[in-house]
Amino acid sequence: MAIERTLSIIKPDGVEKNVIGKIIARFEEEGLTPVGIRMAHLAKHEAEGFYAVHKERPFFGELVEFMTRGPVVVMALEGEDAVAKNREIMGATNPAEAAEGTLRALYATDIGENTVHGSDSAENAAIEIKYFFSDVQLFSRG
Ligand code: RTP
Ligand code: MG
């Protein structure tokens, strides 16, 4: 398996619930190492740009509203098979369907307020990491 990078966001509900530390600890325990971390309160256009792929979906307005409600923690995570591993740790989009012990089963409120984002492919991970981090904000942990 290859070493990959993926983009993770602790969404506003996760920050509000004070589980930033628990979520980062879980990633570290499972071999996903932070190589970039920043906190940001997204502007409307930043949330819209980030989730542009969903702009025709009925939940888009609600999603943008939620993602701009308060600060988020944006992270680039590195590790073996990082994209798939992060999605596994996160669990299904709808917490009611998320496997026991996954971050969304543990912390999410509902399908909208689901605590974490994770890139869905290596290609999108590269695009999403670039969206939030410049090269000098990323580190090699080797
Ligand atoms: P994400 O992109 O945030 O990692 O989530 P995902 O891949 O598991 O799910 P996706 O289909 O990409 O949806 C993006 C985010 O939009 C919100 N959503 N709300 N109300 C709804 O029916 C609904 N469906 C999706 C969630 O915040 C979801 O994570
Ligand atoms: Mg997605």
Mean pLDDT by groups of 10 residues along the chain of 142 residues: 95 98 98 98 98 98 98 98 98 98 98 98 98 97 78
Which architecture, in CATH terms, is 1-135? 2-Layer Sandwich (3.30)
pLDDT value at position 112? 98
**ipTM value for the complex:** 0.97
Catalytic, 117? Answer: yes
Write the residue with the smallest CA distance to atom 2 of ligand 1: 117
pLDDT value at position 35? 98
* DSSP 8-state code for residue 78: E
Q: What is the DSSP string of 95-116?
A: GGGSPTTSHHHHH--SSSS-SE
Q: Which atom of ligand 1 is nearest to the CA of 120?
A: 7
Distance 4 CA to ligand 1 centre (A): 22
Count of beta carbons in the 10 Å neighbourhood of residue 131: 12
In a mutational test of the pocket of ligand 1, which residue from 90, 114, 127 has the highest number of ligand atoms less than 8 Å from its CB?
A: 114
Does residue 120 line the site of ligand 1, with CB under 6 A? yes
pLDDT value at position 141? 83
pLDDT value at position 54? 98
Domain boundaries in the chain? 1-135
